[in-house]
Amino acid sequence: APRVTEDGIAVVPVEGMLVARADGLSRLLGATDYPGLIDRVREAYAAPGVRGVLMEIDSPGGEVAGLFDAVEGLAALRAEAGRPLWAVASDLAASAAYGIASVADRVLVTRTGEVGSVGVVAMHVDRSAANARRGLAVTLIHAGARKTDGNPHEPLPERVAAEMQRDVDALHAEFAGLVAAGRGVPRDAILAHESAVF
């Protein structure tokens, strides 16, 4: 059951890495899964005497998978309940966590809190030199010319890097649009921050 203040505000913690799916271990390590967050907010709205819900966020962000659906789900719960949904960065709401906060009617930040980092990161690790130093030669047997694109056992080809960059840019634009819609500002204003943290 959610913690409800004497003023009728249900407090829902949003902590750690945000993930599309969590198991017992990831929850034990402090992760928040998007479906679990939706369930907790639904439960908070259903609690007797609740006048509004406050998401208390302390998270560096997490996976893009599931984020957009979670924000839509939170907006639907708020609309269905007809009661406010607020968020407080206590002390960090960055990246996907700020995406979650952006759906709130009001976003608060503690005195030492940080918000922002509306951006997207993809990573490729080239392990070919490390493999060579260890005397390992990796041969990938595959069907389909593009099946091994981006594998860690060879340098990233320019074509694959360009495709990854296009994907990251598209997700960044969509993420900025999500935050802009939630905060009621133009998408270009969000993009102009260049993923800064405030």
8 A C-beta contact, residue 126 and residue 155: yes
Q: Pick the closest to residue 118 from 41, 44, 182, 39 (CA basis).
A: 182
SS (H, E, C) 100-117: HHCCCCEEEECCCCEEEC
In terms of DSSP H, where are the helices of 17-150? 24-28, 34-46, 67-81, 96-101, 128-133
Cis amide prior to 91 (ω within 30 degrees): yes
Catalytic center residues: 95, 147
8 A C-beta contact, residue 159 and residue 124: no
Rounded to the nearest 5 percent, the helix, strand and coil shares of the chain are 40, 20, 40
Give CA–CA dist 4/52, Å, rounded: 10
